[in-house]
Amino acid sequence: MLTDLEAKVLKIIRDADQISRLEIAKVLNLSKPVITQVVSRLINKGLVVESGVSKSSSGRPKINLKFVPDAFYCVGAELEENTFEIIVTDLLGREKITSQNNTPQKIDSADIVAWCVEKIKELIKESHLPKERILGVGVGISAMVEPKTGMVRTAPAFGMKNFNLQSILERELNLPVYVANRVKLVAFAEHRLGASKGFKDALYVYLDSGLGSALILNDELFQGFYGKAGELGWMITDIDLTKDDMCFEQDFGHLARKISGHCLKRYLAGVVQGNDLTEIIDTVRQEKNELGKKLKRSLMHFAAAIANAILMFDPQVVIMKGRIGQRYFNQITKIILEFLHNLLPPQFYENLEFRKGIIEKYDVALGGVFLVQKKIMNI
């Protein structure tokens, strides 16, 4: 849809309050006639408009340019074991309409997909937006997904294995569809609108029922050649693989068996009342009992995994996401930083920031919106 130069120019206009052709030319170190041609094409595509005249610093009049967020719309969705969330937004990620449905239980993968298609079609119809202005659909799922094809390698919650989810959705919706691991889409959302906006390199750690991570490197989502980058839950932090496990689940990785919501819940069953882990986490620092010592060991494995990721990728910021990661952010990061101080020389973490993710509603679905824009418009 856009050339590389058109995408660069459009991103500059999108991110600027007001900007002229000459100012864009200076930013990109290109001639004004080249930028004028590019801007003309963007205007013809309905993505940019001229928004009035103002005085430049030299006193000469300049014609300002403005991004048109309503030129197209995107659909984002998250297919989760218990819920299916959908959002329709403009090109700035501003919500137009949303829906949240309980995911049907105990039905096969084909029926799940048919149900998802029905719900997406219903929401698009309810939005009253012309279908020709729907750019595409981005779907996040808790699964290992091939980045080039959108094939789901394995998604145990939905009985999917080597399942062509992307191609099936495209055929049924008659729209471009892109499928990705949900943690990677969370990274997209936080990078565009959330806690890591303005950072070029960020590590996202997703501590929820499972454990995962994602990387933004030089403003781009890094997935690896086969889409397996960020599988933090499978990271090995001890050659005695079963040591310190809180539970054994065949579909859970080595580290996820030590520190994930699912395994914590199973290990702490009958010990914790409700879902509040604050008192248990506080015992880690005091080491009052065997439970505190056990959780401390788990968090040491977690800290070791993060330390290895820091050494490998040198991020500017670590973003904590997921219900556990965000709810217990202060307690967990305080413990992790103490362990990092013991594991690494200070030069490896002294400039590193830890931040809590700030997008709580529809974060995966929003990431799906931005995935569509990246795939189709390269913005």
CATH number where 270 lies: 3.30.420.40
337 and 369 inside one domain: no
232 and 344 inside one domain: yes
Look at residues 323, 353, 357 and name the one whose alpha carbon lies nearest to residue 190.
Answer: 357
Domains of the chain: total: 3
CA–CA dist 131, 171 (Å, integer): 15
335 and 236 inside one domain: yes
How far from chain centre, in Å, is Cα 278? 26
Look at residues 92, 90, 172, 88 and name the one whose alpha carbon lies nearest to residue 123.
Answer: 88
Kindly write down the DSSP assignment for every residue of 329-359, as one continuous string: HHHHHHHHHHHHHHHS-GGGTTT-EEEE---
* End-of-domain residue from the set 67, 93, 113: 67
234 and 314 inside one domain: yes
203 and 177 inside one domain: no
CA atoms within a 13 Å half-sphere pointing along the CA-CB vector of 8? 13
* Tokens representing residue 74 in the block: 């995107």
* End-of-domain residue from the set 16, 40, 67: 67
28 domain-assigned: yes
Whether the CB-CB separation of 162 and 335 falls below 8 Å is answered with: no
283 and 178 inside one domain: no
340 and 266 inside one domain: yes
Phi, psi of 347 (to 5 degrees): -65, -15
81 and 62 inside one domain: no
Sign of CA dihedral 271, 321, 123, 162: negative
pLDDT per residue as tens, the chain (379 positions): 899 999 999 999 999 978 999 999 999 999 999 999 999 999 999 999 998 877 666 667 788 999 999 999 999 999 998 899 999 999 999 999 999 999 998 788 999 999 999 999 999 999 999 999 999 999 999 888 998 899 998 888 888 999 999 999 999 999 999 999 999 999 999 999 999 999 999 999 999 888 999 999 999 999 888 888 889 998 988 877 677 777 776 678 888 888 887 777 777 665 554 555 666 666 655 555 677 777 778 888 899 999 999 999 999 999 999 888 898 898 889 888 888 888 888 888 888 999 999 998 999 999 999 999 999 999 8
192 domain-assigned: no
202 and 295 inside one domain: yes
Full-model pTM? 0.89
**What's the DSSP call for residue 352?**
-
CA–CA dist 172, 287 (Å, integer): 55
234 and 343 inside one domain: yes
Q: Give residues with Cβ within 8 angstroms of 156, minimum separation 6.
A: 251
Look at residues 145, 193, 160, 113 and name the one whose alpha carbon lies nearest to residue 365.
Answer: 193
Helix/strand/coil percentages in the chain, nearest 5: 45, 25, 35
Tell me which residue has tokens 């919706």: 173
Look at residues 219, 190, 244 and name the one whose alpha carbon lies nearest to residue 358.
Answer: 190
54 and 148 inside one domain: no
Q: Identify the domain containing residue 324 by its residue range.
A: 197-356
Cα-Cα-Cα-Cα dihedral of 175, 97, 184, 212, to 10°?
A: -130
169 and 251 inside one domain: no
What CATH number has the domain bearing residue 23? 1.10.10.10
